[in-house]
Each structure stands twice: as structure tokens, then as C-alpha cells.
Amino acid sequence: MCGIVGYTGLDTAKDVLITGLKRLEYRGYDSAGVALERAEGDGCVVDIVRRVGKVAGLESELAQRDDASTCGIGHTRWATHGVPSVANAHPHASCDGRIAVVHNGIIENFAELRADLEARGHVFSSQTDTEVFAHLIEEAYATTHDLAAAVRAACAHVVGAYGLAAVCADEPGVIMVARKDSPIVVGRGERGSYVASDVIALIDATRDVVVLEDGQFARLAPEGIEYTDAEGRLIEPAVTHIDWDIDMAEKGGYPDFMLKEIYEQPRVVRDTLVGRLAPNGELDIDELGLSFEELNVIDRIYVIACGTSYHAGLIAKNLIESWARIPCEVEAASEFRYRDPIITPSTLVVAVSQSGETADTLAAIRDARIKGAKVFGITNVIGSPVARESDGVIYTKANKEIAVASTKSFIGQIVSLTLLALLLGQAKGRLTTGQVRMLFHELGDTSAQIQRIFDTQLDAIHEAACACQGAQSALFVGRGMGAAISYEGALKLKEVSYLHAEAYAAGEMKHGPIALIEPGFPVIAVTTKSPTYDKVVSNLKECEARGARIIALATEGDEDIRRIADHVIYIPPVRDAFSAITASVPLQLLAREVALMRGCNVDQPRNLAKSVTVE
């Protein structure tokens, strides 16, 4: 949530900051702002420019200013404390305007800190929690006259999460950076020193970056970067080399990121599976760090996740219980941590998170570990908090996902969770090596099957989208895997098109939701060939009888379904266990088409942010 950039060096800072902010805009887009240092007389001042709305507005404003500053910080915001407004936009300044800060995260004790600061005469100009940082640093600077020491002192008062960058007019060219529970990446390029909350904003300048650990600080100057711990002692953090290309994070000729990312899914399946099957036919997921014997004692699994990642968990539950016969519960991370789940040393918690920084999921991981569970992370971001705080991790190999709606990372999650289910099945002696090998190859085949959907079903998807476009609401139904697929289909449709959608296990329709059906009401049904196919068809007949407009996702060759469906989207024949991988793809395309027909921005839906780092 929110994005931070900072630069000090030889180039014009506003250009570097705008380029970085545009790359980070997917993280939040309520407002954007920069603080730029400018020489004045013998000294320096800090100019703050902020705009409500997207980075483009800020860019136009800055284009009119003749600003040659070579040091500044910037921010794109997703509102948490305070409405989206200029006053609440970052950067925030101290009373004297000589210190400016940008911040990601939440300051839990901000009300108390603010009251204390106000009592000591500080005047606040926003409703944000961030502003306390500016005033705390101002107070500490008055005695230390050292920005690094002042930032460390301010952080010592703060309870909560922060990725922070600060500048001070009395120390021109210096940016001080701090991190606790909110990502901060720092890098040194040929033209200066860079900081961002996501590596994507500084990858043009350098591929060797330092991902700050909690409690670490960095002092950026044009000529170099100094790293310290909370006591100010110099440290030498590890350097991470980024090997993916910026092209992978740009649109590459597609009209929007969502479409580009949907089309990347055949590759994601392949990449997630590369090197996973050893020549002896056994799965190779060494990074999980548990032997077959240790896996064999696992007797209970919780999958914890949020949103789309939660839906990947629902799919995993079916596979784990079927192949490994281990009871598996899927829980919203935000619920898991507030109840008292039964956890023993033989409990495995699988935390699924694209970003690897979702606050609820992280909090649930910490809770589970304290209670003694082993935690495996499934994430898309190397070195993310979920990866670092788990005992083992599987990376989903989706590469950077920019569109706020998860698509390719969802497919990467399902493939990774399928691998985990196969591994557990093998460890429990429920699947033979031969069976695992066969299932692994079938899993790999879904890559070509997704491609076949792109090649043959676009017209059918378009027709189905036209049928939904003018609706007030839509219902997604299915059974078993089909129900899990439906939940994700409904989420995708509502998040990008703002069309209300609900998903139900098809058998539940008659217990209430069927009351919604009236002539023309769109019902999107997952009717791929599965053990419950006939039951789903019966449920659809009940909808048909009440005038619903039925859009069916059916298996290629199923002509019978046309008797009740108004529109049919065909999926290549695939084992039910893998149907989520193929059937989810047309639902993503459907959601996008409906959204475009309704004039929505599919990459940046309103009110949402890519990483949800608040609870």
C-alpha cells in the first residue's frame, strides 16, 4: 500500500521521482507528492508539491516548475488515516518546514504521540499518522543536529509499521531511511543513490539492491550509502541481485497490465514447474527444508491467506485432502489470528500471499509460529516478509504483477500449492512415484490448455461479457472445484467492473440465493466435466426455469450444455484437480471485458491497492 521513492545524486530529482512513482502507482493512487531540496541564498529549503489523484497530475504540475533539485523524496498514497486530500497527501513537513517525510505503514500509537507533540506546541496540518514522524524528527533534530540520529530517535517512539524516508534542509543531499515491517529497498547507481518501497522503482539505476531488514537504517548521500542498526553502529547488509528485466514489468504492447498478465499465464505454469521433478521421479522442493519423514508426521494443515490468495487456498484444500488425506482448513488470515486455532507441533500452516507483505497474513504467520506450527510460505516476491518469516517457501515465478487484480500470481499459487499437495501425498505414501510423475506432467499440460483458451474462446467470452454488461448483479455457481473457481470469478468481476457479484456452491442456491433470480439475471456456472457435473446441471435447470441468463464454462465437446446455457465458454478437457487452472482464465478475461465495457480502469480499480499492509 502506498509507494515511496527517493533520490540524491547528479540528475534532476523530480524526473527520477516521477519515473519511480509511476512504476509504484499500482500500490496506491489516491494522491501523490514530492519534497525537493532547493538552494536558497546560502542555505537550502524543502519545497513540497502534492496533488490528489494519479501521478500524472503531479507530473504536469512539476513540468511547469523550473526545478533543478538533485535530492528529493516522493510518495503515492492509498488512504488509511484521513481522506484523500492535498493536506493528507505525503510528504509531510515539520512545523518549520525544514524536515519532510514520506511513510508507508501504520503508526499504532499515533493518537498518543500526536497529543503529546501538540501539548509541546507542535501544529499539525493533516489527519495522517505519518505527520507525527515529521514532528518527532524535528524535535530530535533540535538536540542532535544530525538527521540520522534524529530519525533513529523518532523511530524509537513509534509503535507500528514503517518504511520511512526523510530529508532535512539543514543536511542538503542526505536522505535518511528506516524500516520496520514495511519494505524498503536501497540501491547505488552510477548517477546517485536511490531508495524505494519496491525494487521496480529503482531497477533502471541498479540491479544490486539492499532490502533493508527491520530495525536497519540507511543514510543516502550522492556519493554513497551508509547502513546502521538502531544504535547507529555501522552494518554491512546483504546485497540482492535482481535478475528479471524491466520489460517484464511493462505493458509490452498490451493495452493494460491486466491483459498482459493474463496472457503470461502459460509461461507462469511452465516456470513454476521448471526443475521440480527430479530424474528419479520425485518432486524436488528442497527449499521447504523438511524431509519426507518430517512431512509424514503432519496431521493438520491450515492455509491462511486473503482475497484471491484465499481462493487459491480453497483449491489447495481439495487437492491436499484428496491426495494426502490430511485434514486441511482454509482461513482468512484476518480471522485466523483472532481465534484460537488448534495448533500442535505436527500442524503445518501454509501462508499464501502474492505480495508477501499482506499485514493480516504476516500477523497470522507470527501467531502460528509462536503457537508452535511449521509455516510454509507461497509467495511471488523474493525476500518478502512472508518468505523471510516462513520456515520454507515456494516462489510462484509469476514475476512482477502490476495490475491490482491478481491473475497470473493466482495461477502461480495454484500450481505451487498443487506441487505441495503432490509432495504431501507422496510423503504420506498415498501417491506412488509413478502417479506423481503422471500428475506432474498433466499439470504442465495446463500451460498449453490455457493457450488454447486464448486461441479459441475470445469471441465466446466477449458474447458472455455483453450479456453481463448491463446487469445489476451476477451469480457465480459451481460445486467442488467449481465452487472455488466461482468465488474467484465473482471477486474478479466485482473488483474490476464494480458489478455486484456473488458466488455460491451450486447446491446452496435453493437455500436462498435463488430468490435473486429474475428474467435476464446472469448466472455464470462452472460446468466442466467432474463427478458433480449432473448435479450442477440440475441446479442450473432451476435457474433456467426462473428466467436466468446462463453462461456456462463447459468442457470442450459438451454439446448438451447448450440446451440450458445461453452462452458457452469451452475449456479443454482436463482432470478435475487441475480445472481451476484452466477455468479461472476465461473468468479473468470475462471480468476484464465487462469492466472495459463499463468504462472502468482495469489496472487500478477504485479503493484498492496491490499490497494491503494494514489490518
Q: Is 404 in the site for ligand AGP (CB under 6 A)?
A: yes
Q: Which stretch binds ligand AGP (CB under 6 A): 48-56, 98-106, 398-406, 571-579?
A: 398-406
For residue 168, report the phi and psi dihedrals to the nearest 5 degrees.
-140, 130
Please identify which residue in 272, 358, 528, 555 interacts with ligand AGP, judged by CB under 6 A.
358
Residues near ligand AGP (CB under 6 A), total: 16
Q: Is 604 in the site for ligand AGP (CB under 6 A)?
A: no
DSSP string, 434-492: HHHHHHHHHHHHHHHHHHHHHHH-HHHHHHHHHHHHT-SEEEEEESTHHHHHHHHHHHH
Give the Cα separation of 584 and 450 in Å (integer): 10
Per-residue binding letters, 553-592, with ligand AGP (x by CB under 6 A): ----------------------------------------
The alpha-carbon radius of gyration of the chain (Å, integer) is: 26
C-alpha cell at 549: 441468463
Identify the residue whose cell numbers are 483458451. 453
Q: Which stretch binds ligand AGP (CB under 6 A): 86-94, 351-359, 432-440, 524-532?
A: 351-359
Q: Identify residues 86-125 at the interface with ligand AGP (CB under 6 A).
A: none
Give the Cα separation of 96 and 100 in Å (integer): 10
Q: Is 355 in the site for ligand AGP (CB under 6 A)?
A: yes
Residues 6+ apart with CB under 8 A from 461: 569, 586, 589, 590, 593
Please identify which residue in 405, 505, 517, 602 interacts with ligand AGP, judged by CB under 6 A.
405
Residue 142 C-beta: closest distance to ligand AGP, Å: 40
Give the Cα separation of 73 and 309 in Å (integer): 33
CA 442 to chain CA centroid, Å, is 28
For residue 302, report the phi and psi dihedrals to the nearest 5 degrees.
-115, 130
Q: Is 197 in the site for ligand AGP (CB under 6 A)?
A: no
Q: Identify residues 276-315 at the interface with ligand AGP (CB under 6 A).
A: 306-309
Residue 407 C-beta: closest distance to ligand AGP, Å: 8
Residue 105 C-beta: closest distance to ligand AGP, Å: 16
Beta bridge partners of 74: 5, 34
Nearer to ligand AGP, 35 or 405 (CB): 405
Nearer to ligand AGP, 171 or 357 (CB): 357
Give the Cα separation of 184 and 566 in Å (integer): 51
Geometric angle at alpha carbon 133, from 128 and 138, rounded to 5°? 130
Q: For residues 53 and 31, is the Cβ–Cβ distance under 8 A?
A: yes
Residue 262 C-beta: closest distance to ligand AGP, Å: 12
Q: Of 517, 534, 516, 276, nearest to 417 (Cα)?
A: 276
Residue 281 C-beta: closest distance to ligand AGP, Å: 32
Q: Please report, for residues 312, 358, 446, the alpha-carbon distance to residue 427 in angstroms, rounded to integers and kept in the order given.
A: 22, 30, 24
Q: Which stretch binds ligand AGP (CB under 6 A): 151-159, 197-205, 400-408, 421-429?
A: 400-408
Q: Is 353 in the site for ligand AGP (CB under 6 A)?
A: yes
C-alpha cell at 203: 531497477
Nearer to ligand AGP, 153 or 332 (CB): 332
Q: Identify residues 484-543 at the interface with ligand AGP (CB under 6 A).
A: 495
Please identify which residue in 94, 128, 265, 354 interacts with ligand AGP, judged by CB under 6 A.
354
The answer to whether residue 2 is catalytic is yes
Nearer to ligand AGP, 70 or 379 (CB): 379
Q: Is 349 in the site for ligand AGP (CB under 6 A)?
A: no
Nearer to ligand AGP, 21 or 359 (CB): 359
Nearer to ligand AGP, 555 or 611 (CB): 611
Nearer to ligand AGP, 147 or 609 (CB): 609
Residue 611 C-beta: closest distance to ligand AGP, Å: 6
Residues 6+ apart with CB under 8 A from 116: none
| Secondary structure class of 224 (helix, strand, coil) | strand
Identify the residue whose cell numbers are 459451481. 478
What burial class does residue 557 get, using C-beta atoms within 10 Å of its C-beta: 0-12 exposed, 13-18 middle, 19+ buried?
A: exposed
Residues 6+ apart with CB under 8 A from 565: 525, 527, 540, 550, 551, 552, 554
Nearer to ligand AGP, 130 or 355 (CB): 355
The answer to whether residue 371 is catalytic is no
Nearer to ligand AGP, 351 or 517 (CB): 351
Identify the residue whose cell numbers are 500500490. 27
Nearer to ligand AGP, 220 or 474 (CB): 474
Residue 459 C-beta: closest distance to ligand AGP, Å: 25
The active-site residue out of 2, 44, 468, 543 is 2
Residue 356 C-beta: closest distance to ligand AGP, Å: 7
Please identify which residue in 88, 361, 447, 588 interacts with ligand AGP, judged by CB under 6 A.
361
Q: Is 453 in the site for ligand AGP (CB under 6 A)?
A: no
C-alpha cell at 485: 473457481
Q: Please report, for residues 337, 424, 562, 567, 595, the alpha-carbon distance to residue 466 in angstroms, rounded to integers and kept in the order given.
A: 42, 43, 18, 10, 11
According to DSSP H, which parts of 64-168 are helical? 110-119, 131-144, 147-157
Q: Which residues are catalytic?
A: 2, 610
Given the rule CB under 6 A, which residues bind ligand AGP? 306-309, 353-355, 358, 361, 404-406, 495, 608, 611-612
